[in-house]
Structure 1
Amino acid sequence: MNATKSENPVKTLVILLNMGGPQNKDEVHPYLKELFQDREILKLPFQKILGRYIAWRRTPNIQERYEEIGQYSPTKGIMDDQSAEIAQKLDHIHPQSAPHVCVSGFRYCSPRTSEMIEQYNTADKIILFSQYPQHSCSTSGSSFCDAYRWLDKQKDEGYRDRISVIDQWWDRSDYTELWAMLVKRKFDEMKSTLGLNDKDIRIIYSAHSLPESYCTEKGDKYNEEIQGSFERIEKVLHSLGLEHEGALAWQSKVGPQRTKWLTPSTPDVIAETTQKAILMVPIAFTTDHIETLDEIDIEFRGYAEEVVDHFARVDCFNLEEKFIDLCTRLVIEHIENGYNSAIRPCCLNCEGNDCAAMRQYFGSEPVSQRELLEKSPAEAVSV
């Protein structure tokens, strides 16, 4: 790689992990090709060939969708601003681990996680911070495995002693309360501006879907973590006095039509709505991208206009100050807990080539759900 080495001393490097997104028309096809050739996100027969074909077929459609929203992926710009604010807060609140540098590390486009590790390779500590609150092999797992494969090729044990990960933070009360605050803010705004009462508004929480077999056969617990997030947020909202109906749904199905995905789908949940208004919550996303700006704001709005009078969406966290505070707290807690990497154990019927080795590299224990099951069946059920 030709990444320029950092000339400034860095004590702590924080890399925010995300899929990323194409910055212009020419980047759409390479981005999609890498995504569909990644067996950790979607398993296909003849993966390289079929993945390349699907990317070729979908490229014109995705380019049109970006034209609809009037911009290419805003993810990098938003995350650059998030990173700057997190680093500034860390320097101020936790000077003992300063100076901090916070950057983005993307899975399918530049800047890649490996590029950022190499650019700041003199940092005393390197923290890979997953921006997926709920863990899935196809998102957090893919990003961690990608970083592990690059690190393993370096044959430099000095990295191993300095690098750690932050994973799976959906079950924190401050995460739940942040979503509840944002949902209530938009809910109250709809009531006051549209003259609605609580029961006129249906809140639909929409998460990126997975093939059902990933959860029922392989043992990926992403669906359970999304369900848990939904239930926690709803509990807080009801405790605040909201009297509404909430529903969980799944969006963004891709790949072969014969594949069965998690249900109910978001379009189906929209279609069955009997209330006057729908408020969408992008529960699995922290930063706006094509699935919020196009799929929810344009496509799903079109479906909703056939069944309700009003449609709105809660913003992703983006640059919400309380989200920056949450990320800052997560990093500080990670540092003060000794840089302990705690990655969700491998699926019960793990099919990944690098999942176990990745967890061993980062020192995350237990490595697998099966290992945990052998030690403590009750604990295995709860993780």
Structure 2
Amino acid sequence: MGIYDALLVLSFGGPEGPDDVMPFLENVVRGRGVPRERLLEVAEHYQSFGGVSPINQQNRDLVEALRPVLDVPVYWGNRNWHPFGEDTVRQMHADGIRKAAVFATSAFAGYSSCRQYYEDIKRISFEGGPELVKMRHYGEHPGFVAAMADHTRAALERLGRDDARLVFTAHSIPVSMAEAAGPEGGLYEAQLRRSAELVSQALGRTEPWDLVWQSRSGPPQVPWLEPDVCDHLRKIEAPAVVLVPIGFVSDHMEVVYDLDTEARAVAAELGLPLERAATAGTHPRFVRMVAELMAEPEPAPCPLTCCPPPRRRPQA
């Protein structure tokens, strides 16, 4: 595939059984001072699905979908759970891989969605091991847009009405982090709005749409991006809604719990017809997009001042 002799799909990871849940969550929040009570609360979300996050299987599916499209080996590693990225890179080295493209399962700018993957790459790299090159942001790539437009169209068809409001959702982050995203700040929200606009245009829609936020996890005294999706549903003036998880590339826990469980319950309480569009997943156009990214010139890494890490402080 040109300058690369492998692809590494680098992701967040998720538990695959009840006994995995707390160790996984402890990996996620290590060093952040998150109270155990909060971890136990989040653990219940996972346990309500048998302790299994969908994200690992979705990544396996993506890897299998990529293999026939690429002419190089495809590997997969995670930040927080098996298979850990460092183990995968050691295997790549043993297999003789010299230089690999890294496809992060996060499309947009921001500390958690981009800079932390650069930190992962630095952490899992070692002298004499494969050179790892992170691919660029892809929320505006035609392949991502086409996949999300197709899934949104299918949700509209399931709903059976053309007057539904499109409500795009993405992971909320602290306002300070959003303001620091990108070289000049504000890039996380700007990229998401642009992607939502492109999906709406691809559907040929001229109606207004909304961008809202989900999955807030910080202390109440810290401002995060708003409105929350559930709060928005309670205030919206629309005959029906299609939720479009534009900020996610797979149906992991924050999609199936925060949208399919919590937001759907709010809609049912309000008598508001609601459907949720699928994430990009293994849509053929999204899969082909990965090959197209690998065929581009090697991207320049973001400057080290871009998307700085948040200041950590214990949560009350």
Same fold judged by TM-score > 0.5?
A: yes
- Asked if the contact 2:230/2:263 (under 8 Å) is kept, the reply is yes
- Residue in 2 that maps onto 1:103: 75
Report whether the alignment pairs 1:83 with 2:63: yes
- Alignment partner, residue 123 of structure 1: 97
Match of residue 241, structure 2, among 267, 274, 278: 278
CA contact (8 A) 2:58 2:281 kept: yes
Q: Could you tell me which residue of structure 2 aligns to residue 43 of structure 1?
A: none
Take 1:275 and 1:254, find their aligned partners in 2: how far apart are those partners? 28
Given the superposition, is the C-alpha separation of residues 67 and 102 from structure 1 closer, same or farther in structure 2, using an over 3 Å criterion? Answer: same
Residue 153 of structure 2 corresponds to: 184
Instruction: Provide closer, same or farther for how the CA distance between residues 177 and 105 of structure 1 changes in structure 2, counting only shifts above 3 A.
Output: same
Instruction: Tell me by how many angstroms 1:313 deviates.
Output: 0.5
Give 1:217 shift.
Answer: 5.2
Matches within 5 A, 1:19-98: 19-37=12-30, 47=32, 50-51=33-34, 54=35, 56-70=36-50, 72-91=52-71
Give per-residue Cα distances to partners, 1:149-187, cap 9 Å, x unaligned: 332xx3x2x447x33221201122232222122212221
Q: Which amino acid aligns with 2:263?
A: F
Using the TM superposition, give the Cα deviation of residue 79 of structure 1 relative to its aligned residue in structure 2, in angstroms. Answer: 0.9
More deviation in 247-256 or 131-140?
131-140
Q: 2:244, 2:300 → 1: CA distance?
A: 28
Q: Are 1:167 and 2:110 counterparts?
A: no
Shift of 1:101: 1.9
Flag structure 2 segments of 5+ consecutive residues without an equivalent.
312-316
Letter in 1 for 2:268: E
Structure 2 residue aligned with 1:226: 192
Between stretches 102-111 and 305-314, larger displacement belongs to 305-314
Rg larger in structure: 1
Q: How far apart, in 1, do the equivalents of 2:239 and 2:186 lie?
A: 36
Question: In structure 2, the residue corresponding to 1:317 is in which secondary structure?
Answer: coil
Q: Which amino acid aligns with 2:135?
A: I
1:321-374, Cα deviation, whole Å (9 max, x unpaired)? 22222222222x14xx3xx13344344684589xxxxxxxxxxxxxxxxxxxxx
Identify which of 77, 88, 107 aligns with 1:133. Answer: 107
Once the 2 structures are TM-superposed, how far is the Cα of residue 252 of structure 1 from its aligned partner?
Answer: 0.6
SS where residue 306 of structure 1 aligns? helix
For structure 1, list consecutive stretches of 5 or more residues without a partner in the other structure: 1-10, 39-46, 92-99, 354-383
Alignment-derived partner of residue 290 in structure 1: 253
Q: What is the TM-score when the length of structure 2 is the normalising length?
A: 0.87
Bigger helix fraction: 1
CA distance in structure 2 between the aligned counterparts of 1:308 and 1:16, rounded to whole angstroms? 40
Q: Which amino acid aligns with 2:84?
A: R
Q: Which residue matches 1:319?
A: 282
Q: Percent identity?
A: 22
Residue number among 254, 268, 273 corresponding to 1:310 in the alignment? 273
Give the TM-score of the pair, scaled to structure 1.
0.73
Aligned length: 303
Q: Using a 3 Å threshold, how does the CA distance of structure 1 residues 343 and 169 change in structure 2: closer, same or farther?
A: farther
Higher relative contact order (Cα pairs below 8 Å, separated by 6+ residues): 2
> Residues 3-62 of structure 1: CA distance to partner in whole angstroms, max 9, x if unpaired?
xxxxxxxx8221111111111222222222222236xxxxxxxx3xx23xx2x2234333
Aligned equivalents of 1:136, 1:297: Cα separation in 2: 25
**SS at 1:90's partner residue?**
coil
CA shift for structure 1 position 107: 1.0
| d(CA) in 2 for partners of 1:147, 1:217 | 21
Aligned AA for 2:10?
Answer: L
Contact 2:9 2:77 in 1 (8 A): yes
- 1:350, 1:135 → 2: CA distance? 11
